[in-house]
């Protein structure tokens, strides 16, 4: 298990503890695979020098029925709640009416008050 | 707005087909709206962390995240204007709602679920999504903006991971039991993206193909969230199996 973000997010989260949270410039993420593109300035790669053990990677120590996931999907109301709003992938347009922000293709768009008649892309 | 000025690219953008410029302007404009909405999410998270008497460093980072998201909105607004070739109108105010977890056993469990749902799940997926966008992007303007967003999202996700590692023992059984439904609900949101079908030119500007996004999300679930929870001592076999078996939502 060597996901580039594991080290940055999980192991790197310790920098927040016991301080004032002033770590804005410490956040770094791995770039694309070596050789695909020169690394950007100020973006460094976290070397996967510490990997979670296989038991951690599988996360399967706790016993549970094999069909528990199916049960959650079909019978557990907790999984039917919405998730937290995302920051990506909502397309807003303004074609003469209210600004439309369509979060899902299969649902009616969320209609928002028109913010301005001029300058909407 | 950014740690470094955005690079000039106006001549190249002006030479792009107007349809592509419009698509990109709308994407950034829309993201300006959603970034501002996520500031409200972090206001909820900060209150939850305060109620839980979480570590001061975690609370401070969550508080700063509120400002970060407003700064992201300004950056996205500027990007929309750059692609539009003129000042874009202020992005619309979006209605805000977040999950309330009525099945949570206690108020403290509910507060912890807010932190885990928004930071461990949502911001980890956001980091994976932005990393995929950055991988795809070759245009210096898009790369500069994406890099700026990603560096903050990493800190926002770390709020969740730091909380998970320091979470009081009495919350651990409940949160472990919630990992699977939280995963289903939050991954479903990310799979509901309405990005346009991109051509190579959009990839260059940081809009990857849907398949690359799906791969990034599932890879982050399997390679970060599941082992990260286990690393913090929260081991859920159903959650791990769900992730391994395709993470159906």
- pLDDT (tens place) for every residue of chain B, 249 residues total: 666 778 887 788 889 999 889 889 988 998 999 999 999 999 999 999 999 999 999 999 999 999 999 999 999 999 999 999 999 989 888 888 899 999 999 999 999 999 999 999 999 999 999 999 999 999 999 999 999 999 999 999 999 999 999 999 999 999 999 999 999 999 998 988 766 665 657 899 999 888 899 999 999 999 999 999 999 999 999 999 999 999 998
User: What confidence score (pLDDT) does residue A63 get?
Assistant: 47
Which of B155, B209, B210 should one mutate to test binding to chain A, selecting the residue with the greatest count of A CBs within 10 A?
B155
Among all residues of chain B, which has the CA nearest to that of A22? B61
Chain A residues whose beta carbon lies within 8 Å of the beta carbon of residue B235: 59-62
User: What confidence score (pLDDT) does residue A40 get?
Assistant: 45
B123 to chain A nearest CA, in Å?
9
Interface of B with A in 114-153 (CB under 8 A): 117-118, 121-122, 124-131, 134-135, 138, 143, 147, 150-152
Distance separating alpha carbons of residues B233 and B113, to the nearest angstrom: 16
Q: Minimal CA–CA distance to A29: which of B149, B136, B38? A: B149
Of the pLDDT bands very low, low, confident and very high (cuts 50, 70, 90), residue A35 is very low
Residue A114 in tokens = 């028109």
Q: Minimal CA–CA distance to B153: which of A19, A91, A40, A12? A: A12
- Tokens 């993201």 label which residue? B31
Please report, for residues B52, B139, B209, B235, the alpha-carbon distance to residue A32 in angstroms, rounded to integers and kept in the order given.
38, 15, 16, 30
Question: Regarding predicted confidence, which is higher, A39 or A45?
Answer: A39
Distance separating alpha carbons of residues A26 and B57, to the nearest angstrom: 14
SS3 category, A99: strand
A17 to chain B nearest CA, in Å?
5
Question: Regarding predicted confidence, which is higher, B14 or A69?
Answer: B14
Q: State yes or no: pLDDT of A115 exceeds 60.
A: no
Distance separating alpha carbons of residues B210 and B218, to the nearest angstrom: 12
Q: State yes or no: pLDDT of A30 exceeds 60.
A: no
- Tokens 């028109």 label which residue? A114
Residue B249 in tokens = 């939502």
């Amino acid at each position: 298990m060597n996901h580039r973000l594991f080290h940055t997010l999980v192991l790197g989260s310790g920098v927040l503890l016991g301080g004032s949270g002033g770590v804005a410039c410490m956040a770094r993420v791995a770039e694309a695979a070596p050789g695909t593109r020169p690394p950007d300035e100020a973006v460094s790669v976290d070397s996967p020098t510490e990997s979670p053990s296989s038991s951690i990677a599988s996360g399967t120590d706790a016993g549970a029925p094999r069909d528990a996931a199916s049960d959650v999907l079909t019978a557990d109301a907790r999984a039917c709640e919405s998730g937290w709003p995302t920051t990506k992938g909502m397309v807003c347009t303004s074609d003469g009416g209210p600004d439309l922000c369509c979060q899902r293709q299969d649902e009616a768009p969320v209609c928002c008050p028109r913010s301005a008649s001029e300058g909407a892309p | 707005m950014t740690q470094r000025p955005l690079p000039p690219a106006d001549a190249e953008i002006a030479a792009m087909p107007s349809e592509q410029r419009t698509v990109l302007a709308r994407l950034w404009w829309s993201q300006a709206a959603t970034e501002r909405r996520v500031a409200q999410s972090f206001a909820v998270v900060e209150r939850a962390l305060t109620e839980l008497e979480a570590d001061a460093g975690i609370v401070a980072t969550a508080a700063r995240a509120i400002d970060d998201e407003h700064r992201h909105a300004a950056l996205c607004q500027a990007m929309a204007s750059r692609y539009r070739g003129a000042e874009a109108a202020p992005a619309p105010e979006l209605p805000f709602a977040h999950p309330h977890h009525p099945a949570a056993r206690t108020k403290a469990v509910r507060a912890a679920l807010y932190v885990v749902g928004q930071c461990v799940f949502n911001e980890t997926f956001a980091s994976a999504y932005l990393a995929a966008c950055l991988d795809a992007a070759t245009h210096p303007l898009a790369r500069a903006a994406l890099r700026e967003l990603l560096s903050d999202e990493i800190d926002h996700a770390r709020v969740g991971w730091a909380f998970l590692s320091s979470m009081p023992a009495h919350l651990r059984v409940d949160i472990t039991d919630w990992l699977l439904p939280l995963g289903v609900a939050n991954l479903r949101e990310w799979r509901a993206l309405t990005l346009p079908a991109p051509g190579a030119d959009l990839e260059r500007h940081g809009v990857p193909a849907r398949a690359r996004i799906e791969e990034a999300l599932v890879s982050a679930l399997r390679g970060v969230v599941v082992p990260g929870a286990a690393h913090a001592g929260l081991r859920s076999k159903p959650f791990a199996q769900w992730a391994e078996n395709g993470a159906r939502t």
